């Protein structure tokens, strides 16, 4: 795993965008994308750039069950607002949160087929405070594929800042499995802030265990971790010099 430590989120996001731009210039066509506060600066860099997405396919990690693309808290809406409206892709895939209300198995199977038909060249990830990647919480099997995830109280609390009331936060999501994520040819994972420092340390220095889902990335041949100084604060000195 390559570890890049930058002074702040802005410079880290600039570095991440450079990696994506380079990968695309070298032939990447299918781009795995993430949502949340972590990639916002990266997407702004993308919007402000001259990069042309018109021949690219995007595949997002997840979507809340029960939210449609018009809901301003859905990941469809997030991606439209932060990237797709300004820089549309040839085709963009996000799980169907409405189909998943009554048939999460079909929503999962349909999305898994999309991933199988469009192997991901480079995947963007954020890192949860408990070591989750996408909505794959501690205890998720490393061989999991696209599935419905019941969100933990920790994740519901963390995401409640985006909703007017914690009771409005969906309780489940359709999410790429860890095996889907690991199938990407290249992975870029970002984490910022002191509240991510424990997860960063466990991901890099701890054992590979399903209790820290991101630890599986130790076994991937092409991963770049980009963090700020705060997120790096619990790492052994050898990683910070």
Q: Catalogue the active-site residues.
A: 62, 130, 132, 137
Paired residues of 17 in beta bridges: none
In the block, residue with structure tokens 């800042």 = 161
Angle at 171 between CA 169 and CA 176, to 5 degrees: 110
Rounded to an integer, what distance in angstroms lies between the CA atom of residue 218 and that of residue 221? 8
Residue 65 contacts residue 71 (beta carbons within 8 Å): no
């Amino acid at each position: 795993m390559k570890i890049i430590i930058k002074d702040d989120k802005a410079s880290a996001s600039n570095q991440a965008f450079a990696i994506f731009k380079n990968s695309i210039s070298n032939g990447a066509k299918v781009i795995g994308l993430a949502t949340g506060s972590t990639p916002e600066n990266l997407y702004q860099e993308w919007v402000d750039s001259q990069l042309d997405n018109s021949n690219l396919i995007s595949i997002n990690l997840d979507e809340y069950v029960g939210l449609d693309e018009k809901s301003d808290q859905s990941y469809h809406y997030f991606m439209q607002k932060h990237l797709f409206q300004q820089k549309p892709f040839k085709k963009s895939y996000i799980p169907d949160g409405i189909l998943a209300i009554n048939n999460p198995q079909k929503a999962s199977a349909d999305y898994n087929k999309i991933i199988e038909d469009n192997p991901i060249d480079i995947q963007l990830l954020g890192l949860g405070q408990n070591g989750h990647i996408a909505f794959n919480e501690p205890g998720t099997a490393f061989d999991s594929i696209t599935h419905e995830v019941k969100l933990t109280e920790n994740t519901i609390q963390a995401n409640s800042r985006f909703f007017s009331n914690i009771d409005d936060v969906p309780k489940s999501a359709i999410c790429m499995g860890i095996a889907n994520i690991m199938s990407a040819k290249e992975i870029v994972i970002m984490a910022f802030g002191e509240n991510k420092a424990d997860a960063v340390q466990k991901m890099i220095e701890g054992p590979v265990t399903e209790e820290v889902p991101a630890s599986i990335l130790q076994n991937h041949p092409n991963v770049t971790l980009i963090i700020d100084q705060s997120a790096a604060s619990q790492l052994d000195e050898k990683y910070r010099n």
